[in-house]
Structure 1
């Protein structure tokens, strides 16, 4: 069994115990292609389209009422179809229940158009890494910026222990998402502890940061998804409303995310390599919302 396979097995068996965090700290998962981040490439900003281009997908049925629903944020149901687009002209005609798009580069008008067509919309936000091309980049002090993300010019890991610095910055980003009309946030790069970040981050540091991010999103009135960080999925699932995963089938880690499905929370999943026939049977059996995407996350998709 490979080290990754052993770690996944330990996570699956022990994730509900304190031991799970220790068992899952070693090494990056590699599920993001580049091996030290958790997001597919952004080769260009999403450009809001001028055409209506709206499909006729009806609104998704609301999940059953629960005490948590009174808190005011969206609670997505298992089985929703989705589109994930972070580059190229925004294609609003894709027949998907949920759109996941860049929060800074998608306009309020485009969010409103998608929602008018019955979609829910997720706001992509980089929570665990600094991006020098963002409008608020200068607000991140050098003291919280660590090593560069390999293959991602202009990006550096953040010291997630410094919540005093990061909370107001993320709060401003989440508020922008809410004010544009987004339903949820997808905080990226929330697995710095398992990468060469430049900081001595532990699994416990990451758990604390990820829970704080989830709580901040909820206090802003937004649903929140756990991005990758499969090793900690079991202990983090109660704090999050859905999961977003890259390549769990390729790395034989999908079973670790079943904890979300068991809790009535969807797993929005993509693979970049191979054919859909290679992974769809497995992820259908797990009730994941799966599709194949190109690595640059343009509009093209091939759903299961």
Structure 2
């Protein structure tokens, strides 16, 4: 007959063997405007219920907050960090492959081992977003393979995305697919989409097919903003921003 102490020990072992359940994820709201504030924080008008800010910023009280994380490329302020992990930087003939438009080095997602290591680093940022009070996280440069000089495949970045989405969900955050309209990110668990210039490139419909009304749209040219508002403004939140997303820069809503 099992003693009380032995029974308690067995129950403890079983409890430790069961992985902790993921925290509840709060879905992206619909029927409200969005402000995209990656270049600096500012107040918002009452019509704005969704705000996106960098992971180093604080969320806005009373809004649904999306935390920006560069999940596939480096940020300028992360040089010291990535120097400690040189093998996670994509290289061609020994030189880092760089996204010339932004001066960001591409992360090497080509192997399972490297993807796990990247996910561990980015996972700490995701956890930080959750601790700060954000509701969701968006992962930028999902399409880095298109700038990799043929070294990274779309399949490899999809596998990387799956790991990051899982990390977000475990932290209780909804996960946002950033750009790459042709791909249905729901296949790896993305909950909503963030699109830069889907109006300009006539891609908004692709996102809507995958995510319904849970698509955030940012346009950087007035002609595109006007056209996007006319076509999608009644259904999707669309904001016109200056390309540098400065705290005092251009901002208009449909």
Q: TM-score, normalised by structure 1?
A: 0.67
Q: What secondary structure sits across from 1:121 in the alignment?
A: strand
Please tell me whether the aligned partners of residues 243 and 266 of structure 1 are also in contact (alpha carbons under 8 angstroms).
Answer: yes
Question: Does the C-alpha gap of structure 1 residues 97 and 235 become closer, same or farther in structure 2, counting only changes over 3 Å?
Answer: closer
Partner of 2:122: 170
Please tell me whether the aligned partners of residues 130 and 137 of structure 1 are also in contact (alpha carbons under 8 angstroms).
Answer: no
- Compare relative contact order (CA 8 Å, sep 6+) and give the higher one, 1 or 2: 1
Match of 2:89 among 121, 145, 153: 145
Match of 2:106 among 147, 150, 157: 157
Question: Does the C-alpha gap of structure 1 residues 71 and 177 become closer, same or farther in structure 2, counting only changes over 3 Å?
Answer: closer
Deviation track 1:164-209 (CA, whole Å, cap 9, x = no partner) reads: 22011011111111111111111111111222x2562222112211
Q: What secondary structure sits across from 2:221 in the alignment?
A: coil
Are positions 1:292 and 2:243 aligned together? no
Partner of 1:50: none
Question: Does the C-alpha gap of structure 1 residues 139 and 121 become closer, same or farther in structure 2, counting only changes over 3 Å?
Answer: farther
Match of 1:225 among 165, 176, 180: 176
Please tell me whether the aligned partners of residues 23 and 171 of structure 2 are also in contact (alpha carbons under 8 angstroms).
Answer: no
Q: What secondary structure sits across from 1:169 in the alignment?
A: helix
Please tell me whether the aligned partners of residues 86 and 297 of structure 1 are also in contact (alpha carbons under 8 angstroms).
Answer: yes
- State the Cα RMSD in Å: 2.1
Q: Distance in 1 between matches of 2:153 and 2:221?
A: 31
Q: Distance in 1 between matches of 2:150 and 2:88?
A: 9
Deviation track 1:13-38 (CA, whole Å, cap 9, x = no partner) reads: xxxxxxxxxxxxxxxxxxxxxxxxxx
How many angstroms does 1:71 deviate by?
Answer: 4.7
Query: Paired residues, what number?
Result: 220
How many angstroms does 1:278 deviate by?
Answer: 2.2
Deviation track 1:89-122 (CA, whole Å, cap 9, x = no partner) reads: x212433101100112x14xxx2xx22xx21111
Partner of 1:269: 217
Please tell me whether the aligned partners of residues 244 and 267 of structure 1 are also in contact (alpha carbons under 8 angstroms).
Answer: yes
Segments ≥4 residues shifted beyond 6 Å: none
Q: Which runs of 5+ in 2 are unaligned?
A: 1-21, 91-96
